[in-house]
Structure 1
Amino acid sequence: METKQDSEESIPPGGPDLVRLLDDLVRVEVRLYTLLDARLRAATGHGIGRLDALRTIAEVPGCRVSDVVRRLGITVGAASKGVDRQVRDGFVRRIPDPEDGRSSFLALTPEGRQVLDDLLPAAAREVGAVVRATGLPDDDVAHLSRILPVLRAALESGPTASATRPSP
């Protein structure tokens, strides 16, 4: 069991304020997502949620709702509702699993492929515009682009990925 002294010793004196780091990461994500979602909707009529869902379905072979959950880090309910919206709007179809009648695979329709093909360059343009507007030097953006995937992969696949939160 970790004691207060153990946890304090893991943060070097004068080292990074890890609580501030968490706060900054969360606030950046929320503000960036909100801004980019609005800009993408204005440019294409579709938001980041649609982009995320369509990309996942296109990129994961034999995609199921559980893959959407895992890849996007959302709940089963949110993934199911999101997929239902894509199906309702004609961008995704469900293909029954011949080995398990209760399950289905997800695939883009031709319309869904076209929407994704339109969204990807628009999203790249909007992200680029927002990042450039921050004034961050290109080297810092490149460094961040190398660090965040490492942190994300560690959190998604490491021992902390399945850790549960203690009850308040």
Structure 2
Amino acid sequence: MLNDLQRSRHGIAASQFEFLLHLRGHPGARVADLAEFFAIGVGATSKGIDRLEGRGWVRRIPNPADRRSSLLELTDAGRALVDDAETTFAAITELIQAALEPAQFDAAADALRTLRTALERDKIGNPVG
């Protein structure tokens, strides 16, 4: 549902929105940082960033601490897009909250946080390359 709404309203996939949202909060992140955060491979992350860069939403800048890597930052167009797309994400969150009692919503969020922590601790689903 989120993916369909993000595509129809903003022309991006939900995964692209997540990359842009993360970069908005973490300017100067590297591709490897995104790969680690999202527990996906560096190659897939780099290809995703290439697509965002090709659309003018992200730019790579030289990393002064390591010439082999680049730092990522949103362009003005990328920042405007993620700000706009965030309204769609917020609307979906409101729909979910309206369907659940507050205690149910909190319990579901807690369960998902616990699951993610356990998966990360046990290195289940982490990328290998």
Instruction: Please give the range of the TM-score, normalised by the shorter of the 2 chains.
Output: 0.7 to 0.9
Match of 1:37 in 2: 3
> How does the TM-score come out when normalised to structure 1?
0.67
Structure 1 residue 126, shift from structure 2 partner:
2.3
Structure 1 residue 163, shift from structure 2 partner:
8.4
- Which structure is richer in relative contact order (CA contacts within 8 A, separation 6 or more)? 2
Seen in structure 2, the aligned counterparts of structure 1 residues 163 and 55 have a Cα distance that, compared at 3 Å, is closer
In the TM superposition, 1:115-134 aligns within 5 A as 115-129=81-95, 131=96
Match of 1:143 in 2: 107
Match of 2:117 in 1: 153
Does the aligned pair in 2 maintain the 1:86–1:92 contact within 8 Å? yes
Give % identity. Answer: 36
Unaligned runs of 5+ in 2: none
Residue 98 of structure 1 aligns with an amino acid whose one-letter code is: P
Match of 1:113 in 2: 79
Residues 132-160 of structure 1: CA distance to partner in whole angstroms, max 9, x if unpaired? 68x4433211211122123212322x1x1
Equivalent position to 1:69, from 28, 35, 42: 35
Structure 1 residue 70, shift from structure 2 partner:
1.0
> How does the TM-score come out when normalised to structure 2?
0.84
Give yes or no for the alignment of 1:83 onto 2:14. no
Unaligned runs of 5+ in 1: 1-34
Kindly report the root-mean-square deviation, in angstroms, between the aligned alpha carbons of the 2 structures.
2.1
Residue 147 of structure 1 aligns with an amino acid whose one-letter code is: A
Structure showing greater Rg: 1
Seen in structure 2, the aligned counterparts of structure 1 residues 137 and 101 have a Cα distance that, compared at 3 Å, is same
